[in-house]
């Protein structure tokens, strides 16, 4: 008998990882779940919550202790995002963008001085972090951005442009900002990454986005009007910032898969408990095959998404390539979230469509996981390019 070789490390949760999972689950059940419907209804970003999460070490969960973080591993962070998203997907994405897209790039590519000046503020929750890549005309084709970083005589830059759909923007103390630093370029080749402080002169919130869901997460346009950044705030190599964006998204996509997983799990938990209580034709609806089989299929999809997500996290932790695996996890888990939340509504029937139960919120929140940090179509493009070795467009 032959076995299929695999480069994926084997994993099962360690005691520390289980402890984090239990701690976040308990906190979320007490502090987040009871508020989630109201935050959704009123579009509330609860800034105080993030101070409480900081006290638990969750604003810098996988950041090294030398830089003020909790020093845990990437899978612990993924488990935390999953549990937070199970309670409220808006909280999940706030932490995901703050950590993967805003703090870890400085840990990985920052100079010693940048790390010391920026990371402890983020890891302690004094600052919430943000990631400014997307523009109105540059979403999937991120490399076509128009925001400019004009070089100054002193070696610094002045940034001008408008970024769109910026998660955490109105509350952020720092922005990893991507801008075109190389005049004459029109694609990914001329982009640099910069550290921009939230209180920089010329940086302001443009428009607050009205969304289908994820209402406890803040999403805004950010306007850069001649924002001055010193040469010391260039992150990584000049003109190579797009690689930083792509590698950041390689890890970020694993956490969006975790977010999708958390939403799907919440929908499944609701649907299965409802199916045991609600009766029709003299017995619980879960005793009817039509509902029982639906729940069985939902559980399989969730476990498959979980396996892909944890596998991608394990590869990243082991320092192995994870571009394809992260994209696979996000592609699959986001589809699972959409399908499972839709089926949960079906199980609850009219109650699923009503705001009396959270099923409709899960459904609205799930959809974005197929769009941000790269649409499902972009995930397929990333996977196909790597697997085929062709320039798929």
Return the number of the residue (261 or 344) whose C-beta is nearest ligand CAA.
261
As beta bridge partners, residue 194 has 177, 234
Which single residue is written with the structure tokens 């990882």?
A: 17
Query: From the CB of 335, what's the least distance to ligand CAA, in Å?
Result: 17
Closest distance of CB 195 from ligand CAA, Å: 17
- By beta-carbon proximity to ligand CAA, the closer residue of 294 and 364 is 364
DSSP strands (E only) in 237-369:
279-280, 283-284
Q: Cα-flanking dihedrals φ and ψ of residue 260, to 5°?
A: -60, -40
The smaller minimum CB distance to ligand CAA, of residues 23 and 146, is found at: 146
User: Hey, is 131 helix, strand or coil?
Assistant: strand
Which is nearest to 20 in space by CA: 48, 54, 58? 58
Nearer to ligand CAA, 17 or 100 (CB): 100
Residue closer to ligand CAA by CB (options 268, 362) is 362
Do the Cβ atoms of 9 and 315 come closer than 8 Å?
yes
The per-residue DSSP string of 95-126 comes to HHIIIIIIIHHHHHH--HHHHHHHHHHHHTTS
Annotated active-site residue 373? The verdict is yes
CB of 289 to ligand CAA, least distance (A): 39
Burial class (CB in 10 A: 0-12, 13-18, 19+), 209: middle
In 3D space, the residue among 357, 392, 364, 367 whose CA is nearest the CA of residue 378 turns out to be 392
Give me the least distance between CB of 258 and ligand CAA, in Å please: 12
**Interface positions with ligand CAA (CB under 6 A):** 93, 97, 101, 131, 133-134, 140-143, 167, 187-189, 242-243, 246-247, 249-250, 323, 372-374, 378, 381-382
Catalytic choice (82, 325, 360, 373):
373
Q: At its nearest, how many Å lie between ligand CAA and the CB of residue 349?
A: 32
Place of tokens 């991608």: 312
Catalytic residue set: 373
């Amino acid at each position: 008998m032959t076995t299929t070789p695999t480069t994926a490390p084997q994993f099962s949760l360690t005691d520390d990882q289980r402890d984090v999972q239990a701690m976040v689950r308990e906190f979320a059940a007490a502090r987040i779940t009871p508020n989630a419907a109201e935050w959704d209804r009123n579009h509330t970003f609860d800034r105080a919550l993030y101070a409480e999460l900081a006290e638990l070490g969750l604003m810098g969960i996988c950041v090294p202790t030398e830089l003020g973080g909790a020093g845990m591993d990437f899978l612990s962070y993924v488990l935390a995002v999953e549990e937070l998203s199970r309670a409220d997907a808006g909280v999940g994405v706030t932490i995901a963008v703050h950590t993967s897209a805003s703090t870890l790039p400085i840990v990985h590519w920052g100079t010693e001085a940048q790390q010391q000046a920026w990371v402890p503020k983020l890891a302690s929750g004094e600052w919430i972090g943000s990631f400014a890549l997307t523009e109105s005309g540059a979403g999937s084709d991120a490399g076509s951005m128009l925001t400019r970083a004009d070089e100054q005589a002193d070696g610094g830059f002045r940034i001008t442009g408008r970024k769109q759909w910026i998660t955490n923007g109105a509350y952020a103390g720092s922005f990893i900002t991507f801008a075109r630093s190389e005049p004459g370029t029109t694609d990914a080749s001329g982009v640099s990454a910069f550290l921009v402080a939230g209180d920089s002169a010329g940086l302001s919130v443009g428009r607050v986005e009205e969304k289908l869901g994820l209402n406890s997460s803040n999403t805004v346009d950010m306007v850069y009007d001649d924002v001055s950044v010193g040469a010391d705030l260039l992150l990584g190599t000049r003109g190579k910032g797009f690689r930083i964006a792509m590698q950041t998204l390689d890890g970020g996509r694993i956490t969006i898969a975790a977010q999708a997983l958390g939403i799907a799990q919440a929908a499944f938990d609701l649907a299965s408990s409802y199916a045991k209580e609600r009766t029709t034709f003299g017995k619980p609806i879960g005793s009817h095959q039509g509902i029982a089989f639906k729940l069985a299929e939902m559980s399989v999809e969730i476990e498959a998404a979980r396996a892909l997500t944890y596998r991608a996290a394990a590869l990243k932790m082991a320092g192995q390539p994870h571009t394809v695996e992260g994209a696979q996890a996000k592609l699959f888990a986001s589809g699972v979230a959409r399908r499972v939340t839709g089926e949960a509504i079906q199980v609850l029937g009219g109650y699923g469509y009503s705001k009396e139960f959270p099923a409709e919120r899960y459904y609205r929140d799930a959809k974005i996981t197929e769009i941000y940090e790269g649409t499902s179509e972009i995930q397929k493009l990333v996977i196909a390019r790597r697997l085929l070795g062709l320039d798929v467009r």
